[in-house]
Structure 1
Amino acid sequence: MPDFTREQNHGGRVAGVDEVGRGPLAGPVVAAAVVFSAGVPDDLAAIMDDSKKLKPAVREAIAARLPSVAGVEIGIGAASTQEVDALNIHNAAHLAMQRAVARLPRLPDHVLVDGNKLPAFGCSAQAIVGGDGLSLSIAAASIVAKVVRDRIMARLGARWPDYDWQRNAGYGTAAHRQALGAAGISPHHRKTFGTVRRQVAAGQTEKQA
């Protein structure tokens, strides 16, 4: 389980940063930055983990509670489907993380990032492989980013029901791939990604809303 050791060892205002949505065929990549300037309540620390390991209801409950925790600061950033295609997913994910940190009330003293590469934040930063399972701040950021992105995809799914985004969040499930073949490409599909790229190369045009 993640803990608060890295934040305490550094001192000051430490932001945990993570992104969600590198792999899907559709939708934005979303990042969050979370600062626990007054520490993490014990009962919250006991249930937080890498968002991928938590049930949706637990993620939702944690995300709903975080804004009311004393001393918590949250910033959310995203990079659009068009930015993913223009910049590549690696650079778009970094852009989303930079935007998340920029939307904190003020620049943190230090940033902990899940992964092995660091965007430029304008302050000291550290990349931690598997950080969402090691740092409570990063775990919180992963939860917030996941909840926000899932909500975005559910809203998009209501407008584009062929692809079942409410359930697959834009990932390339068998049903999603079949829908791409049957219904075509939406404006929210990443045209540089796998199945979508091949359909574009084959001459498939984009559906209109």
Structure 2
Amino acid sequence: MLAPPRTVIRREAGMYAMEQALRRRGFDRIAGADEAGRGACAGPLVVAACSLPPGRRGEVPGLADSKLLTPASRDRVYDEVIARASAYAVVVVDTPDVDHRGVHAANIDGMRRAVGLLDPEPQYVLTDGFRVDGFCAPALAVPKGDRVVACIAAASVLAKVTRDRLMVELHEAWPQYDFARHKGYITAEHTAALAEHGACEIHRSSFINVSTLKGSQRHVSIAVSDDVQLEGVLAE
């Protein structure tokens, strides 16, 4: 029996090529999922899922990996994604849940929840970097997906902007840490504030720089991703 034909998507084909290839295979509703805050030692983990419609309606002006955009550009792209998406959902995982589950498990659960909230539900799901099982549809992990797949990039912008806005609100409660500036990530200024003030309730005890201050022996959660050139293979 012959194996099904492969579809190879090359990086230079552009951000919409993966979704176009899937639609040619009969998958009309395609969702991307991504998170923000995985590497932060304070604040929530935010996970988003997004489906973009086919054609020009689904081509988001200025869309790119959220980490490559300026804050002002992210806000503009965020508004465009909200206006153009055929479905989107954002899930906020708070600090106690991240500490209880661990970052990776909380991230996977958040992706399942975000995708599960999409209406209409997707026929195919694309995730950034690592495989996630348990979706309502077949799924594919795409290395550097937030840079090369439009719906994943859209999800990354939704997650990043949502989380940044939450961290600005949390700054009002704990201004001594300057969360509005570093958004809970480990910087020299954040480290100095931790040394001076200790950890607050939104700091993640599962990170070693925080657990040391809290007298905990729990170990740091580390996210590792391979820098792999994209050649996505879609199998029927």
Q: Same fold (TM over 0.5)?
A: yes
Which secondary structure state, in structure 1, belongs to the residue aligned with residue 97 of structure 2? Answer: helix
Greater radius of gyration (CA): 2
The match for 1:7 is: 19
Q: 1:31, CA displacement in angstroms? A: 1.0
- C-alpha spacing 1:182/1:16, structure 2 compared with 1 (3 Å): same
Structure-2 separation of matches of 1:77 and 1:119:
18
Q: Pick one of 65, 70, 75 that aligns with 2:89.
A: 75
Structure-2 separation of matches of 1:197 and 1:156:
20
Q: Pick one of 58, 68, 86 that aligns with 1:53.
A: 68
Paired AA for residue 17 in structure 2:
T
| Count of residue pairs brought into register by the alignment | 201
1:159 maps onto 2:173 in alignment: yes
- C-alpha spacing 1:72/1:143, structure 2 compared with 1 (3 Å): same
Q: Contact 2:87 / 2:120 at 8 angstroms: preserved in 1?
A: no
What TM-score comes out, normalization by structure 1 length? Answer: 0.90
Equivalent positions of 1:173-192 (< 5 A) are: 173-192=187-206
The match for 2:3 is: none
The match for 2:130 is: 116
Q: Pick one of 112, 131, 140 that aligns with 2:154.
A: 140
Structure-2 separation of matches of 1:43 and 1:116:
25
- Tell me which stretches of 4 or more aligned residues in structure 1 moved more than 6 Å: none
Q: Contact 1:66 / 1:72 at 8 angstroms: preserved in 2?
A: no
What TM-score comes out, normalization by structure 2 length? Answer: 0.80
1:33 maps onto 2:45 in alignment: no
> What is the identity percentage for the equivalent residue pairs of Structure 1 and Structure 2?
37
CA RMSD of aligned residues (A): 1.8
Which secondary structure state, in structure 2, belongs to the residue aligned with residue 179 of structure 1? Answer: helix
- C-alpha spacing 1:202/1:143, structure 2 compared with 1 (3 Å): closer
Q: Contact 1:78 / 1:97 at 8 angstroms: preserved in 2?
A: no
The match for 2:119 is: 105
Structure-2 separation of matches of 1:7 and 1:116:
18
